[in-house]
Structure 1
Amino acid sequence: MTVTHDEKVVREFSKQAAGFADPALNVAFTRHLDRLVRFMDPELDLEDVVLEVAAGTGLVSRAIARRVRHVTALDLTPAMLTEGKRAADHAGLMNVTFAHGDAVALPYLDRSYTLVVTRFSLHQVADPGAVVREMVRVCRPGAALIIADLSRPDGLHGDLDRIERLRDPSHGTALTETQVADLVTSAGAEVKRAERFDYARPLDPWLRFSHTPADVAAQIRRDLEDELAGGPATGMRPSMDDGVLHFTHSYLFQQAIAG
């Protein structure tokens, strides 16, 4: 039986849901959350009605909840929403709603939100253009649109998507900054500013977080070690730090204004 991409996403992120609360495993999500909130800061307002698309456990929603009127955290994976709701209740956040839904068919009327954000989703979905179009559709005129995602640097050697899919079969395609900007512009919004940065991550926690099978994890490790020894580029830019194998991710924060 053929498995759809959405089914892959739900399967993989159901396995990963509990790990989102573990900072030892969920390094990228937790380490750079404050940085994203600072990037969003000029757009946050106490009157904002916010939608977080493909929200996972609603990390962004929960981080900004006390600074806005209301946040809806929408995701395709029920297990992720359950983890997020539990954490929001524990924190006493009363203005966050968790909703099950598909990012390519948002169950909301046009021009419903004053700020729409998605984090680490475009590289995961089958049709990132459809997600961006839906995000712009539900923005009120002049609303801020925030995209934070894994990014492919221009001129990168090696097929990083191959390694990403080995580790997590629901991975789609890492886009360049220009490709993301083109999607936003085509959807009718205007890119205003961007921030980009690299982060070297230890390999083992990344693999444990996704519950990558041992044989596949060993293959990924071999590929990165081969590159360090002069073999083919993987696109993961491996390095050794105190005997620990690392790889490098590039991240993009981009802010646009809906028309």
Structure 2
Amino acid sequence: MTEPETTHAARIVAQFTRWAEPFADLPVHAEAESMAQTLAACAITPGMSVLDVACGPGIVACALAQAGAQVTGIDVTPAMLAQGRQRAERMGVAVTYHCADGQNLPFEESCFERVVTRYSFHHLLQPAKVLAEMVRVCRPGGLVIVIDATPAPECQHAYDKAETLRDPSHTSALTVPQMLALGRQAGLEPVQTTQYHLESCLCDQVAPEDWQALHALFTQDIASGQNRLGMGAWLAEDGIRFYFPISIMVWRKPTLGAVQSVA
């Protein structure tokens, strides 16, 4: 049975209210190389209008604002938005924040030249619906950028099992073919698909009550030598380390002329 939207939304808010401050402070979320790739994918110029969907504590939003964009961020978790406002103040940048759901963006059509979301799609029950909203508010000729974990198809089930243990608001991490299919269904033109590994330490990414089960799962995966989780886990001096398999998907919204010619 499909979980009701309201129940899942409440789970997301509860999870990220709990983790708002530590999430904002985790170095992995502002890691320099992945942030550089995020900014490059957005390809902004000074003054460009950008929407960050599911912006969390404003890590991407503030980096985009620092690069000269006019940035709006939306998220469903007030505690995350509070962290975002604090980050913007510390960095001396202007970001406009709204508490809103990605499935119903509170903006008119074609408002933004760039619409981006990072590390959010694996939390969504209906990613296609959110992507459709992102497309709606993007200007023709503008870019839609989705950055998220994309496990290999043969690892998807095991990856989701591990991530749900770590984060109960996780739904499913889409594979690259699934992501590309979403873009086609939304009428987007593919521009770029790139991948990178985002390294993390297990002890930074799990609540104490979930530690035993998750540690056992990762330990078993390391011992098997088969990387069934698709996270390349290994035992390091500071404990179990692993990587998130991240993809950057960049699409262009067709111009009006291109849309008419297709019709």
TM-score (norm 2): 0.87
2:41 to 39, 42, 59: 39
Distance in 2 of aligned mates of 1:252 and 1:85:
27
Residues 48-127 of structure 1 aligned to structure 2 (within 5 Å): 48-94=48-94, 96-127=95-126
Residues 93-172 of structure 1 aligned to structure 2 (within 5 Å): 93-94=93-94, 96-156=95-155, 159-172=158-171
Over the matched positions of the two proteins, sequence identity in percent amounts to 31
Give deviations 1:166-194, integer Å, cap 9, x for gaps: 11100010011111111112112111111
1:30 and 2:24 equivalent? no
Give deviations 1:2-33, integer Å, cap 9, x for gaps: 871100000000111101332xx341443522
Q: Contact conserved, 2:24 with 2:59, CA < 8 A, in 1?
A: no
2:239 to 240, 244, 249: 244
AA of the residue aligned to 2:39: V
Q: Tell me by how many angstroms 1:236 deviates.
A: 3.6
Distance in 2 of aligned mates of 1:68 and 1:38:
13
AA of the residue aligned to 1:160: Y
AA of the residue aligned to 1:227: D
Distance in 1 of aligned mates of 2:242 and 2:97:
33
Distance in 2 of aligned mates of 1:86 and 1:248:
29
Give deviations 1:37-65, integer Å, cap 9, x for gaps: 1333xx20223111100111111110011
Distance in 2 of aligned mates of 1:231 and 1:66:
43
Tell which deviates more after alignment, 163-172 or 31-40: 31-40
1:228 and 2:222 equivalent? yes
2:21 to 18, 22, 26: 18
Distance in 2 of aligned mates of 1:154 and 1:235:
9
Distance in 2 of aligned mates of 1:123 and 1:59:
18
Number of aligned residues: 248
TM-score (norm 1): 0.89
Distance in 2 of aligned mates of 1:36 and 1:157:
24
1:186 and 2:185 equivalent? yes
Q: Tell me by how many angstroms 1:145 deviates.
A: 0.9
SS in 1 for 2:124: coil
Cα-Cα RMSD: 2.0
Structure 2 unaligned regions, length at least 5: 255-263
AA of the residue aligned to 2:20: A
Distance in 1 of aligned mates of 2:69 and 2:214:
44
Distance in 2 of aligned mates of 1:220 and 1:188:
39
Distance in 2 of aligned mates of 1:6 and 1:83:
19
Q: Contact conserved, 2:58 with 2:87, CA < 8 A, in 1?
A: no
Residue of structure 2 in register with 1:174 after alignment: 173
AA of the residue aligned to 2:249: Q
Q: Contact conserved, 2:109 with 2:137, CA < 8 A, in 1?
A: yes
Distance in 1 of aligned mates of 2:248 and 2:83:
25
Q: Tell me by how many angstroms 1:73 deviates.
A: 0.5
